[in-house]
C-alpha cells in the first residue's frame, strides 16, 4: 500500500497561502477545502438573516458579517454564511475575531461538514454562544447553544412558528423571517385509510 505523506500545514501558513488565491478556501485543520457556489434559496436565507440582524442590532456594539470574512474556529478556518461579532472590526480585516453567533445554511453537499465538523470547530471556540444550522428546503433550524454553568452545548430544533432567542445579543428573531420570499411546498395530505 502506498501512502502519501504530506507536510502538516499550520493555520498561519494556510492564511498566508489563501490570501494569494483567487478562490476562497476553508481550512479543516488538515487541508484547504475550496468553497463552492450555492443556490438561490441559500442566498435569500443568508441575506434575510443579515438584514434581520442588522435591523435588530442598530445602536448596539454587535454587527452581522458574512460570508466573505473568515473566523478561526478550533483548529480550522471557516467562512460562516453569517456571523455576529461584538468586537471592533478594522475595515481591511479578512478575519473576524470573537464571533458570538454563527449561522450556516445547510445543503445536501454540506450536511456532514455543517452538522459534525463545523459543530466541533464552533464548540471549541469559547466566544461562540450559539451555532444555528438552517435548512434550505423547509423552515427549520437546529440551534446549538451554551447552557448551564458547565457551558455544555444544548440542542434545540425550531420550525416555522418558532422564535430564535439570542440573549447574548439581546434580540429575538422569528425563524420564518429568515425564509421571507421563499415558497416551500406544503406536505401533501395523507391518503384516507380504507374502511
In this structure, what are the phi and psi dihedrals at residue 139, rounded to the nearest 5 degrees?
Answer: -85, 95
Can you tell me the distance from the alpha carbon of 123 to that of 100, in angstroms, rounded to the nearest whole number?
11
Can you tell me the distance from the alpha carbon of 73 to that of 33, in angstroms, rounded to the nearest whole number?
15
pTM score, whole prediction: 0.84
For the stretch 44-73, pLDDT in tens is 999 999 999 999 999 999 999 988 899 999
Sorted by sequence, the CB contacts under 8 Å of residue 55 that are 6+ apart come out as none
Q: What does the mean pLDDT of the chain come to?
A: 87
Q: Are 56 and 167 in contact (CB under 8 A)?
A: no
Q: Closest Cα partner for 140 from 161, 156, 158?
A: 158
Say what the pLDDT of residue 4 is: 43
Domains in the chain with CATH codes: 38-179 (3.90.1570.10)
- Model confidence at 195: pLDDT above 70: no
Element (H, E) at 100: strand 99-105
Could you please report the per-residue DSSP string of 59-92?
TSS-EEE-SSSBEEETTEEE--SEEEE-S---TT
For the stretch 126-166, pLDDT in tens is 999 999 999 999 999 999 999 767 778 899 999 999 999 99
Q: Are 64 and 50 in contact (CB under 8 A)?
A: yes
Q: How far is CA 99 from CA 22, 26, 168, in A?
A: 25, 16, 11
Amino acid at each position: 500500500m502506498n501512502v502519501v505523506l504530506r507536510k502538516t500545514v499550520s493555520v498561519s501558513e494556510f492564511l498566508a497561502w489563501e490570501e494569494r488565491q483567487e478562490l476562497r478556501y476553508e481550512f479543516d485543520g488538515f487541508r484547504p477545502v475550496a468553497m463552492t457556489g450555492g443556490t438561490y434559496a441559500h442566498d435569500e436565507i443568508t441575506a434575510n438573516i443579515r438584514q434581520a440582524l442588522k435591523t435588530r442590532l442598530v445602536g448596539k456594539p454587535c454587527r452581522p458579517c458574512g460570508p466573505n470574512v473568515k473566523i478561526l474556529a478550533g483548529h480550522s478556518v471557516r467562512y460562516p454564511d453569517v456571523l455576529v461579532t461584538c468586537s471592533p472590526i478594522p475595515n481591511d480585516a479578512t478575519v473576524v475575531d470573537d464571533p458570538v453567533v454563527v449561522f450556516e445554511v445547510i445543503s445536501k453537499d454540506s450536511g456532514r461538514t455543517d452538522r459534525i465538523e463545523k459543530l466541533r470547530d464552533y464548540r471549541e471556540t469559547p466566544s461562540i454562544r450559539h451555532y444555528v444550522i438552517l435548512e434550505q428546503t423547509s423552515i427549520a433550524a437546529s440551534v446549538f447553544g451554551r447552557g448551564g454553568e458547565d457551558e455544555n452545548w444544548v440542542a434545540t430544533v425550531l420550525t416555522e412558528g418558532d422564535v430564535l432567542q439570542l440573549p447574548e445579543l439581546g434580540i429575538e428573531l422569528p425563524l420564518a423571517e429568515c425564509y421571507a420570499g421563499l415558497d416551500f411546498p406544503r406536505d401533501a395530505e395523507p391518503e384516507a385509510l380504507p374502511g
